[in-house]
Structure 1
Amino acid sequence: LPFIELPLNTTEDALLGGVDLEETVRRGERVFQPGILARAHGGVVYIDEVNLLNPEILSLLFEVQSRGENLIEREGMSLKHPSNFAIVASMNPEEGDLSSHFLDRFGMCVGFENLKGAERLRVLKRAMVEQREGYEKRDERIRKKIILAKKLKERVSFSDELKEKAAELCLGAMVAGHRADIALIKAAHAYAAFCGEEEVAERHLLKVLPLVLLHRRRLLEHYEQEQIEKPQREEERDKKEDGKAPGHSRQDRPGGQEPAAPSLSPGGGREEVFEVGEAFRVRRLAFRKDRRERVSLGRRTKTRFSGKGGRYVRSLMRKREKDIALDATLRAAAPWQLLRGRKDAVIVKEEDLRFKERERKLKHLVIFVVDGSGSMGANRRMVATKGAIQSLLLDCYQKRDKISLIVFRRDRAEVVLPPTSSVELAARRLKELPVGGKTPLGAGLLAAYNLIKQVRLKYPETRFLVVLVSDGRANQGVSGLDVWEEIKKCSMLLREVREADCIVVDTEDKSGFLRTDLARRVASLLGARYFTMPDLRAEELAWMVAGSLSPERAWGL
């Protein structure tokens, strides 16, 4: 039984297979070199720390497993070979998350906790040489039991009533899709055979149910949170339409308590914490591709990749270790074959060698610079603003970006969340964010610039995205200069950072008669892309595109 341990630095060529360059040059024809998936046929692929594996490699692995065969369509080759295998993986959630899509592809999950007392001692004894013989006998009994279960499995029956029960259990757990249902039925079927029974019973379903739902619990918790918050949002909306304050009435509050009044900040202003508004799907944000080579991976912006993975975009004469572009090399060698006296195989010399330039997507460090001044509380604008930021945070999670949160209010700017990959932590910080005081916009821009400088010293390859969320009504300086002169100087500092892109999200209410459009002025100083909050919505972008493709526009009328 093949047992393949997949290293975290696996490349696409090593996984799927590719051209055997040495044999190809020697024979004068393309020779395929099988990859890891060919060797894993009929066995097990084990991935340690699967959450640290390149998502593109993991996606290819699951695609081949679901098909049961590996299809090769690259570099002029077209072939396929069977590749049936099981995937076993381990991970430490503290070192990084795995996307819900990938988690759902695993049928079952077992959680391990720190062992204490007798259990820890038992594991220690098992690892000792003098105790190993007894455990080997036990393992041998389990192995024989598994062999018998594999023979019995074909005779095990599964009633339609129990299949309906399995579907009800998964529906009750609010699991999306059918993978959980299928995994539950297969697991119960196998467990019944392991127990030596020829019919699946309800106890077999219930025994394996926690294993099927454990890694899908995060999706369930998110759904439950949405179900709790949705009635609250609807109630607030109804009361607002009735002309009432959005708080609860006295008789509805437990113990007749009064709602918490806005607190006083140390600076003397009033502070208030607003809830997070409704999230939405964000439009696609694309940024310029620079010319720097990187090794970091993500899903945001294309960049040159210094490793062997990624998309082959062109050939170079500059030497890269073991990443020869076969097509370009053969083209360079072809005109000289007659002079070199070629008979059968192509004669390739060192000066003919060409090397691949590859391209992949990278992640950004997204720095949210959020206006926490009192003007954001007018007309409860902070509710919608927090909803827009929450939507951008979810987009960052999907693109594998790192995030940081800077808040400016009163007379200073503060980094309330240092760079992190945890969107959940950022969401908690956002929920607790108060508003109150003046608007030191220049301090927020300067704090973003200082954070970029610190990160660049440690990680010089980092690409940055600064997202300024404000109405632009700056009224507080921190340097003694005129407020807008200070903003201009801080904006110039950010514009000089070549690795940084900027976005300004204008939170001003554009439906009223009085509009200042000061955020647009800040965007002009930063050289940033400008959005109002409705512009961020993907459905708004779809409407704009549909309008631009109307029949009248198409015919130039």
Structure 2
Amino acid sequence: MTAPQDATSSDARAPDATWSRACLAAALVALDPAGTGVVLRARPGPVRDSWLDALRALLPVGMPVTRLPPGIADDALLGGLDLPATLRTGRPVAQPGLLARSHGGIVLVPMAERLAPGIAARIAQVLDTGSVEVARDGIATRHPAQVGLVLLDEGEGEDEALPPGLADRAAIHLDLDAIPPGAVATPLPRPDLDAARAARSALPAEAAETLCALAARLGIASLRAPLLALRVARLHAGLDGRSIVEELDLAVAVALVLAPRARTWPQDADEAAAEPPRPDRDDEAGPAGQESGEDRILAAAAASLPPGLLARLLAHEGPRNRSPGAGRAGAVAQAQRGRPVGARPGDPRRGRLALIETLRAAAPWQRLRRAEGAARLRITADDLRIRRLVQRRETTTIFAVDASGSAALERLAEAKGAVESLLAECYVRRDRVALVAFRGRGAELLLVPTRSLVRAKRALAALPGGGGTPLAAGIEAAGRLAAAERRAGRSPVVLLLTDGRANVARSGAPGRAQAASDALSAARALAQEGTRALVIDTAARPQDAARALAAAMAARYLAMPQADAARLTRAVREAAPSC
């Protein structure tokens, strides 16, 4: 169950070979679950089930494999108060959570791309420390929790991604989507894992340096990646019965750990993969010899990469990573109905009684409250808890763009570029976007609220320029659309791109004084409605008129000369309702 050694083998990327490498990865994870972990990119089906069955068969007898339930609460994950025991004894009794109960085993995370950021952060902390600390509800305890993580990546779209902190901590990344179901029917020999666990393969002095250099050549910024690759190389050497790590073991580690994280692939290494290694290369001396060793490892790793990955890396496209955080934008509002997010002290007549939380609050005090002949359980008004419910609302980002002659064609082009970068950010967050343009005598809704990035870019590209600046009309049009989105239960954010120099009044008549007054009036009305806004000054130099407009709108002001894509993105995130 080793990786192919011949870089020129014609079947190196065949389905059977890919499945063989996947089973090799399962054996490496089974050798050291807590020290490795795996990201498994695979749709539900027989291939994924066969791989999970192969992993379970390789684990030691009795090793727990626990499935993480979706939407798990903190006390269930980390541990908390054992309510029955606390009520029985009259003193706080701790209860271990899922991670502590899984100590020494594996935690399986289905739909890991949908894992809440808070849960992902807590799991990452446990992976780093190997223990769970609980200090709440009158208890303070620590439980060992050394677990291996199997993250099942089931994301369908390009806007779904695993939590980056967990993905980075998993050593091996596998993609099984290209393996047909027929390939898993091939029986593979079972490796001698007991002997491999007892083995202690030595590391050559240059192994760590080689893997760090290879990670740098592949464009990997993570510091964990070469350390995890080093661990996988030692496990592979032990699995093959070698007492010292060799180039083959490093090549397997590169293929399973570094290549899936790579952002590029050296062209010279790909050329080296096309020809078999020459025996006389080991005799090369000096720096060139070390470089040749790296090339040989890359060439061997390239021969065992999944179909399509090497081509994407050579094209500098990187792996098929999906943008994180998708679908999680939007304001969170407390409501009478929605998703429970905890409990708070309160009157059950004004909310839903949280029974378990109420009992938790009362349990530590029972010994003090108990009197001779009194009931076994006494609850006071201070113990009462009611549920906190929230409803997540979608965000609609409304772009109001000044397309007048005062914006100048070159400034309008820059504004379009800024809007396009912001559109991409909104698409990643799964916001709805709308486009309002104002020029001449009035404003026009060019794009109704949509999630289609293609439609938004098409409308932006067709945006004409020239004419007067009916700034008040543009603000009022954006305000009307924001009000409609608010009535529909969404959270609107207005992004106004203008130089602030209005010259067309609300009535459509020319005149700078009246136009400026109308624009400020419309801006104040938008602020009174509570609409969040951001004013981006598109003038070549910052304008006092745009600053005054932002102040009247209660909006943040950002000048275009310094508004690069990164600053625009941060500004939009700060202007948008927090999630």
Q: Does the TM-score normalized on the shorter chain lie above 0.5?
A: yes
* Change beyond 3 A, Cα 1:334–1:410: farther
Please give the alpha-carbon distance, in whole angstroms, between the structure 2 residues aligned to 1:72 and 1:361: 29
Distance in 2, Cα, partners of 1:393 & 1:3: 40
Shift of 1:21: 2.6
Q: Does 1:71 align with 2:133?
A: yes
C-alpha change, 1:485 and 1:364, in structure 2 (3 Å) is same
How far, CA to CA, are the matches of 1:526 and 1:520 in structure 2?
Answer: 10
Instruction: Report if aligned partners of 2:470, 2:502 keep a CA contact under 8 Å in 1.
Output: yes
Q: For each residue in 1:385-431, what CA deviation from the matched residue of structure 2 results, as whole angstroms up to 9, or x when unmatched?
A: 8569858976x799x673635252556342398347x8xx8998899
Q: Does the CA contact (< 8 Å) of 2:120 and 2:163 recur in 1?
A: no
1:309 Cα deviation after fit: 4.0
Match status 1:528 vs 2:555: yes
Query: What secondary structure is seen at the aligned counterpart in 2 of 1:155?
Result: coil
Structure 1 vs Structure 2 CA RMSD: 4.7
2:198 is aligned with 1:145: no
| Correspondent of 2:124 among 58, 62, 65 | 62
Match of 1:97 among 148, 161, 167: 161
8 Å contact from structure 1 (residues 408, 443) kept in 2 = no
Whichever residue aligns with residue 162 of structure 2, its letter is: L
Question: Quick one: distance in 1 between partners of 2:424 and 2:365?
Answer: 48
Query: Is residue 53 from structure 1 mapped to residue 115 from structure 2 by the alignment?
Result: yes
Q: Aligned partners of 2:448 and 2:255: how far apart in 1?
A: 37
Residue 379 of structure 1: how far off its partner (Å): 6.9
- C-alpha deviation, 1:85, in angstroms: 0.5
Shift of residue 448 of structure 1?
Answer: 4.3
**Helix, strand or coil for the counterpart of 2:175?**
coil
The residue matched to 2:123 in structure 1 has which SS? helix
1:402 and 2:434 correspond: no
Q: Which amino acid aligns with 1:348?
A: I
Cα offset for 1:35?
Answer: 1.4
Instruction: Give the CA deviation at 1:520.
Output: 3.7
**1:471: how far off?**
1.6
Which of residues 492, 497, 503 is equivalent to 1:469? 497
Q: Which moved more, 1:164-173 or 1:448-457?
A: 448-457
For residue 304 of structure 1, report the CA deviation from its aligned partner: 4.0
> What secondary structure sits across from 1:46 in the alignment?
strand
The letter of the residue matching 2:175 is G
The secondary structure found in structure 1 opposite 2:206 is helix
For 2:11, the equivalent position in structure 1 comes to: none
Q: 2:378 aligns with which of 331, 347, 351?
A: 347
Q: CA deviation at 1:505?
A: 2.8
Which secondary structure does the structure 2 equivalent of 1:160 belong to?
coil
Report the equivalent of 2:23: none
Taking the aligned partners of 1:330 and 1:415, their CA distance within structure 2 comes to: 57
The alpha-carbon distance between structure 1 residues 359 and 374, as it changes in their structure 2 partners (threshold 3 A), is same
Cα displacement string for residues 137-157 of structure 1 (whole angstroms, at most 9, x for unaligned residues): x36x33x43444323xx3212
Residues 1:470 and 1:453: Cα distance change in structure 2 (over 3 Å): same
Map 1:307-326 onto structure 2 (within 5 A).
307-309=339-341, 314-317=345-348, 318-326=351-359
Equivalences for 1:352-371 in 2 at 5 Å? Answer: 353-355=384-386, 357=388, 364-371=395-402
Letter in 2 for 1:467: L
Q: What amino acid maps onto 1:150 in structure 2?
A: R
CA distance in 2, matches of 1:110, 1:337: 58
Partner of 1:238: none
1:84 partner SS: coil
- Report what 1:11 is aligned to: 73
Q: CA deviation at 1:192?
A: 2.4
Structure 1 residue 3: Cα displacement = 1.1
Q: d(CA) in 2 for partners of 1:444 and 1:113?
A: 49
Measure the CA separation in 1 of the matches of 2:66 and 2:494: 43
Contact kept, 8 Å, 2:476 with 2:522, in 1: the verdict is yes
**Does structure 2 conserve the Cα–Cα contact (< 8 Å) formed by 1:376 and 1:435?**
no
CA spacing shift, 1:50–1:492, aligned 2, 3 Å: same
Amino acid in the other structure paired with 1:75: D
Identify which of 191, 199, 206 aligns with 1:161: 206
Establish whether residue 205 from structure 1 lines up as the match of residue 250 from structure 2: yes
* Greater relative contact order structure (CA < 8 Å, 6+ sep): 2
Q: Secondary structure at the match of 2:168?
A: helix
The 5 Å alignment of 1:196-275 reads: 196-217=241-262, 220=263
Match of 2:450 in 1: 418
Shift of 1:375: 3.9
Identity percentage of aligned residues: 27
- How many residues align? The count is 429
Between the aligned partners of 2:89 and 2:399, the Cα distance in structure 1 is 57
C-alpha distance in structure 1 between counterparts of 2:562 and 2:394, whole Å: 23
Q: 1:349 to 1:169 in 2, by over 3 A?
A: same
Contact 1:301 1:363 in 2 (8 A): yes
Asked whether the equivalents of residues 365 and 401 of structure 1 are also in contact (C-alpha less than 8 Å), the reply is no
Q: Offset at 1:80?
A: 0.5
Deviation of 1:436 after TM superposition, in Å, equals 2.9
Alpha-carbon distance, 1:159 to partner:
0.6
Q: 1:503 aligns with which of 509, 513, 534?
A: 534
Q: Secondary structure at 1:436's aligned position in 2? A: coil
1:519 aligns with 2:519: no
Query: Does the 8 A contact of 1:466 with 1:502 survive in 2?
Result: yes
> Any residues of structure 2 matched to 1:276-315 within 5 Å, and which?
304=334, 307-309=339-341, 314-315=345-346
Gaps of 5+ in 2: 1-62, 265-325, 568-579
Cα 1:189–1:10 change in 2 (3 A) is same
One-letter identity of the residue aligned with 2:537: D
**TM-score with structure 2 setting the length:** 0.60
Partner AA of 1:418 in structure 2: T
Q: Contact 2:427/2:451 (CA < 8 Å) preserved in 1?
A: no
